[in-house]
């Protein structure tokens, strides 16, 4: 008869601490705490400061919990037992004053950080007038979230790229951000915080690279089947290398006009980086106003019609130029649920001009 060797109960306990270093090794690449831009640096400092302030309460509470459990254990017969004690002014002061001070500090940090790190706030307002950031001319970049890739338009350089973004180090960047079909989120952790990209709207982000390097941007808002592959290269380059990058794009790319864009915006995953040597200067405005397709009414025109009281009864049946569901237009099932067409029999009755609507109140 053979016997299995007795297991040592200490081995599992010793194995857990030994397993922690490899697991925690991945924390060394936390990009949020390794910023390459001024805005990201301030956001990282805000996270650290808020965490430290909260630890001022958390650490003493955890320590006192262990201390009280040990001191007043059943085996400790020397611990003083006072069942009639129910109040201490000094203890109440500490219990309420400390959290209140922490909340005041966190509130002040939140208030200041919310205004100083407002993505719509130009960087020059935060910098001294003589600083390089305040004096440098911003780089204008128009960003469009597609299914499932990113389009970057450089209006002043006259080029466009797909899944590749580059900017010179130390130069402020003014992002204008929109989307083609569904809500998305633009995020380069090493540069600045995330900001939403929405169809028919424009959001803004101001940021700057402080260091050269190769970084990664991605979508931080679920947007469909290819969401996980919506990643792009974000490169911070010296000024001369950025100019060379622009020159290379102009030399080897095609033309991004409306017809090319309509092909580009069709759903695809894992697209390689691509450049366009020229771009329609009105393309971004058409994308943002959802009227790239021929015959579509632009959003600003719709708002103008609404401001004037509508287009009249003759426009009731003319709705083709107002349909913006790209999924339905492509015949896919990824879009919203299909809404049945309204017929005369199923349409709700509307009172005529000389007919008073019936009241549902009783007297």
Task: Say what the pLDDT of residue 351 is.
Answer: 41
Q: Examine residue 295 and say whether the peptide bond preceding it is cis (omega within 30 degrees of 0).
A: no
| Domain 32-72+88-117 fold | Helix Hairpins (1.10.287)
**Secondary structure (3-state) at 38:** helix
Domain ranges of the chain: 32-72+88-117, 132-288
- Radius of gyration from C-alpha coordinates of the chain: 30
Rounded to an integer, what distance in angstroms lies between the CA atom of residue 241 and that of residue 39? Answer: 23
Element (H, E) at 67: helix 38-71
**Model pLDDT for residues 105-122, shown as the tens digit of each residue:** 999 988 988 888 888 888
Of these ranges, 81-90, 182-191, 291-300, the one predicted with the greatest mean pLDDT is 182-191
Sheet containing 231-237: order of strands = 164-168, 231-237, 213-219, 184-187, 195-197
32-72+88-117 and 132-288 have identical folds: no
**Model pLDDT for residues 150-187, shown as the tens digit of each residue:** 999 999 999 999 999 999 998 999 999 999 988 999 99
Rounded to an integer, what distance in angstroms lies between the CA atom of residue 68 and that of residue 93? Answer: 20
CATH superfamily of 132-288: Cupredoxins -  blue copper proteins (2.60.40.420)
DSSP one-letter code for 33: G
**Model pLDDT for residues 83-103, shown as the tens digit of each residue:** 788 888 888 898 889 889 999
Structure tokens at 283: 């393309």
pTM above 0.85, yes or no: no
């Amino acid at each position: 008869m053979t016997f299995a060797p007795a297991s040592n109960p200490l081995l599992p306990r010793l194995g857990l601490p030994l397993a922690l270093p490899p697991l925690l090794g991945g924390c060394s690449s936390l990009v949020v705490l390794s910023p390459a831009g001024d805005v990201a640096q301030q956001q990282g400092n805000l996270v650290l400061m808020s965490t430290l302030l909260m630890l001022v309460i958390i650490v003493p509470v955890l320590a006192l919990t262990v201390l009280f459990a040990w001191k007043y254990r059943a085996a400790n017969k020397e611990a003083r037992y006072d069942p009639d004690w129910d109040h201490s002014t000094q203890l109440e002061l500490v219990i309420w004053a400390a959290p209140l001070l922490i909340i005041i500090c966190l509130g002040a940090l939140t208030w200041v950080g919310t205004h100083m790190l407002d993505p719509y706030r130009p960087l020059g307002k935060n910098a001294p007038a003589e600083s390089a950031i305040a004096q440098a001319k911003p780089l204008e970049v128009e960003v469009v979230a597609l299914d499932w890739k990113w389009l970057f338009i450089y209006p002043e350089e006259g080029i466009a790229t797909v899944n590749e973004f580059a900017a010179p180090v130390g130069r402020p960047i003014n992002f204008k951000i929109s989307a083609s079909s569904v809500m998305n989120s633009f995020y380069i952790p090493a540069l600045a915080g995330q900001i939403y990209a929405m169809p028919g709207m424009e959001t803004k982000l101001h940021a700057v690279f402080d260091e050269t390097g190769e970084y990664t941007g991605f979508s931080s808002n679920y947007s469909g089947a290819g969401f996980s592959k919506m990643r792009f290269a974000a490169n911070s380059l010296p000024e001369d290398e950025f100019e060379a990058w622009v020159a290379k794009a102009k030399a080897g790319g095609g033309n991004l006009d409306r017809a090319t864009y309509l092909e580009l915006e069709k759903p695809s995953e894992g697209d390689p980086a691509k450049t366009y040597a020229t771009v329609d200067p009105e393309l971004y405005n058409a994308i943002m106003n959802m009227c790239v397709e021929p015959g579509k009414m632009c959003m600003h025109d719709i708002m103008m019609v609404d401001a004037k009281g509508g287009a009249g009864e003759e426009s009731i049946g003319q709705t083709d130029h107002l349909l913006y569901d790209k999924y339905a237009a492509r015949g896919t099932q990824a879009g919203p649920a299909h809404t049945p067409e309204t017929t005369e029999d199923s349409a709700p009755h509307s009172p005529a001009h000389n007919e008073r609507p019936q009241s549902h109140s009783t007297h």
